[in-house]
């Protein structure tokens, strides 16, 4: 079965032909760890998590290597550390832990280094300065870069096919380069590979190099780490559409400049941008939503994941509250079906064919979700696995000690009811019903409802419950 993916490089949907089917290789630009992951970051991580799961299903888990980096050296990090009065290392370690917690709440597969269970690597930029310095040296030797006053710059004019991915050359790349270098450039389009350190720089962001103390430019880390872990040619490079220019364009220039004749990434996949109520997320607009904000309101990670996946990965996604409530309703429907059908196994072969038919067409998750809507509980759990959903026990889903009904925005009088106190109230109500004390029975039902607990009386006399 051939997968098809939209390749930004050719602007066409193409059959995916791995260079080596026994080691399919994907690199994705990961987070810059200076603050909590927002919903746009999460969209990117969740989308490539599904692509990784699909590649593992098609080629075998032990035949896929996935690298998603952590950018832990960057101007934004320096600024945030100074603002909080902590060292850069303290900040990046703390934010990396937050990232892991939040992504794990979204059901994202964790990095692991143990083949044969598949290989997912999460390299940090600061652990790969040596590889970056070596690549910069190669670029200088190949006449693609030049040193000037402790900085090293990439010479854009030295690469005739610069612009091949984005189809454009901007007048000035400074805006995207993340580090200001003004007067050393031979050409305004040249971008920084190495930036000399300032005397007042935090020592944890200063590294030795043949050009003196300094730190790498942003783009070089992805070229150096992808080559280190995946080789000069690999299959898929992913990231958000915001990174196409200049970041990915510059990665191509660096990697092809350092290794002439190599193709670098054969397919470029870009996830669409996430906006909130039609606007770009930004702290100043007050519409900046982090994954943690939602989790702290008691919204289950699986609901957020589902809401992020409902729009096709390469279309823009405009976030609003209704997306979450729809996601919750749809997941409730699926879990109700799973509960009804018990542990019945669906037809695995048929399910695999349906999964590949939908996801093999440019990772069409919405199409797979419509297949799920047409299926019974037995198959839902099996099919949900590739999307990273529907893996909980239905009781855990409906009754989980979630504070969803009692989130920060709710009635201040609301108190969190534990599962056992709910069960006790139900017993109380059953006693009241037996004694025909309908007033008390109704009172308990209504009281629980006001706390977001719905009771369902069964024909056999028992009462089930769920949180809304």
Residue ranges that bind ligand AMP, judged by CB under 6 A: 29, 31-32, 40-41, 43-44, 71, 239-240, 242-243, 271, 273-274, 281
3-state secondary structure of 12: strand
Peptide bond into 123 cis (omega under 30): no
Residue 214: name its binding partner from Zn ion, ligand AMP, none (Cβ under 5 to 8 Å by kind): none
Within 8 A by CB and 6+ apart from 266, the residues are 19, 233, 234, 235, 236
Taking the complex as a whole, the smallest distance from the CB of residue 460 to ligand AMP amounts, in Å, to 49
From the CB of residue 159, how many other CB atoms can be counted at a distance below 10 Å? 18
3-state secondary structure of 146: strand
Instruction: Between 278 and 342, name the residue whose CB sits nearer to ligand AMP.
Output: 278
Instruction: Between 44 and 126, name the residue whose CB sits nearer to ligand AMP.
Output: 44
Instruction: Between 216 and 394, name the residue whose CB sits nearer to Zn ion.
Output: 216
Residue 222: name its binding partner from Zn ion, ligand AMP, none (Cβ under 5 to 8 Å by kind): Zn ion
Cβ atoms 199, 212 nearer than 8 A: no
Cβ atoms 108, 102 nearer than 8 A: no
Could you give the CA distance from residue 85 to residue 407 in angstroms, rounded to a whole number? 32
Instruction: Between 205 and 223, name the residue whose CB sits nearer to Zn ion.
Output: 223
Within 8 A by CB and 6+ apart from 239, the residues are 28, 29, 44, 247, 248, 270, 271
Taking the complex as a whole, the smallest distance from the CB of residue 173 to Zn ion amounts, in Å, to 15
Taking the complex as a whole, the smallest distance from the CB of residue 38 to ligand AMP amounts, in Å, to 7
Could you give the CA distance from residue 409 to residue 187 in angstroms, rounded to a whole number? 54
Within 161-258, residue ranges assigned H as helices are 174-177, 218-230, 249-258
3-state secondary structure of 438: helix
Could you give the CA distance from residue 26 to residue 20 in angstroms, rounded to a whole number? 12
Cα 275 from chain centroid? 15
Taking the complex as a whole, the smallest distance from the CB of residue 27 to Zn ion amounts, in Å, to 8
Within 8 A by CB and 6+ apart from 137, the residues are 210
Could you give the CA distance from residue 364 to residue 457 in angstroms, rounded to a whole number? 40
Instruction: Between 237 and 445, name the residue whose CB sits nearer to ligand AMP.
Output: 237
Residue 222 interacting with Zn ion (CB under 5 A): yes
Taking the complex as a whole, the smallest distance from the CB of residue 34 to ligand AMP amounts, in Å, to 8
Taking the complex as a whole, the smallest distance from the CB of residue 280 to ligand AMP amounts, in Å, to 7
Could you give the CA distance from residue 380 to residue 311 in angstroms, rounded to a whole number? 19
Residue 41: name its binding partner from ligand AMP, Zn ion, none (Cβ under 5 to 8 Å by kind): ligand AMP
Within 8 A by CB and 6+ apart from 213, the residues are 196, 197, 206, 207
Taking the complex as a whole, the smallest distance from the CB of residue 190 to Zn ion amounts, in Å, to 19
DSSP 8-class letter at 207? B
Residues 17-46 interacting with Zn ion (rule: CB under 5 A): 29
Instruction: Between 95 and 222, name the residue whose CB sits nearer to Zn ion.
Output: 222
Taking the complex as a whole, the smallest distance from the CB of residue 25 to ligand AMP amounts, in Å, to 18
CA distances in angstroms from 227 to 128, 252, 296, 427, listed in the order given: 11, 12, 39, 63
- Measured from each CB, the residue nearest to ligand AMP is 240
Count of residues in contact with Zn ion, rule CB under 5 A: 2
Residue 379: name its binding partner from ligand AMP, Zn ion, none (Cβ under 5 to 8 Å by kind): none
Taking the complex as a whole, the smallest distance from the CB of residue 74 to ligand AMP amounts, in Å, to 8
Taking the complex as a whole, the smallest distance from the CB of residue 36 to ligand AMP amounts, in Å, to 11
Cβ atoms 14, 231 nearer than 8 A: no
Could you give the CA distance from residue 406 to residue 452 in angstroms, rounded to a whole number? 8
Instruction: Between 136 and 383, name the residue whose CB sits nearer to Zn ion.
Output: 136
Taking the complex as a whole, the smallest distance from the CB of residue 222 to Zn ion amounts, in Å, to 3
What DSSP line would sit under 359-405, residue for residue? HTBTS-HHHHHHHHHTS-HHHHHHHHHHHT-S-S-HHHHHHS---GG
Q: Provide the binding-site residues for Zn ion, judged by CB under 5 A.
A: 29, 222
């Amino acid at each position: 079965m051939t997968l098809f993916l939209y390749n930004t490089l050719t602007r066409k949907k193409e059959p995916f032909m791995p260079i080596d089917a026994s080691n399919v290789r994907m690199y994705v630009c990961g987070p810059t760890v200076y603050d909590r992951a927002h919903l746009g970051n999460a969209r990117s991580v969740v989308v490539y998590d599904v692509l990784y799961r699909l590649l593992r299903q098609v080629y075998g888990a032990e035949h896929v290597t996935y690298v998603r980096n952590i950018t832990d050296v960057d101007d934004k990090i320096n600024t945030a550390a100074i603002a909080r009065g902590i060292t850069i290392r303290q900040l990046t370690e703390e934010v990396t832990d937050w990232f892991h917690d939040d992504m794990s709440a979204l059901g994202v597969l964790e990095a692991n280094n143990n083949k044969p269970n598949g290989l997912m690597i999460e390299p940090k930029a600061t652990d790969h300065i040596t590889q970056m310095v070596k690549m910069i040296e190669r670029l200088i030797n190949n006449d693609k870069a030049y040193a000037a006053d402790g900085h090293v710059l990439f010479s854009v004019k030295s690469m005739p096919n610069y612009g091949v991915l984005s189809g454009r050359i901007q007048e000035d790349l400074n805006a995207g380069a993340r580090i200001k270098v003004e007067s050393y450039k031979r050409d305004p389009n040249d971008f920084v590979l190495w930036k000399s350190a300032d005397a007042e720089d935090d020592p944890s962001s200063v590294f030795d190099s043949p050009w003196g103390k300094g730190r790498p430019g942003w783009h070089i880390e992805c070229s150096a780490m992808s080559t280190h872990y995946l080789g000069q040619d690999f299959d898929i490079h992913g990231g958000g559409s915001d990174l196409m220019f200049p970041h990915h364009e510059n990665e191509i220039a660096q990697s092809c400049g350092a290794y002439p004749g190599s193709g670098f990434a054969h397919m470029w996949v870009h996830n669409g941008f996430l906006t909130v109520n039609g606007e770009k997320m930004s702290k100043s607009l007050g519409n900046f939503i982090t994954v943690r904000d939602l989790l702290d309101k008691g919204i289950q990670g699986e609901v957020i994941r589902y809401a992020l996946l409902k729009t096709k990965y390469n279309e823009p996604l405009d976030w609003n509250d209704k997306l979450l409530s729809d996601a919750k309703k749809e997941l409730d429907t699926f879990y109700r079906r799973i509960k009804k059908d018990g542990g019945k196994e669906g037809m695995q072969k048929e399910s695999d064919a349906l999964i590949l038919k939908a996801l093999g067409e440019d990772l069409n998750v919405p199409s797979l979700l419509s297949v799920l809507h047409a299926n019974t509980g037995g198959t839902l759990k099996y099919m949900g696995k590739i999307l990273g959903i529907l893996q909980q026990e239905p009781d855990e889903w409906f009754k989980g000690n979630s504070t969803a009904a009692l989130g920060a925005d709710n009635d201040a009088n609301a108190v969190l009811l534990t599962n056992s106190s709910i069960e006790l109230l139900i017993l109380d109500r059953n006693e009241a019903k037996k004694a025909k004390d309908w007033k008390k029975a109704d009172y308990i039902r209504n009281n629980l409802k006001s706390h977001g607990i719905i009771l369902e009386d069964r024909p056999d006399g028992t009462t089930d419950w769920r949180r809304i």
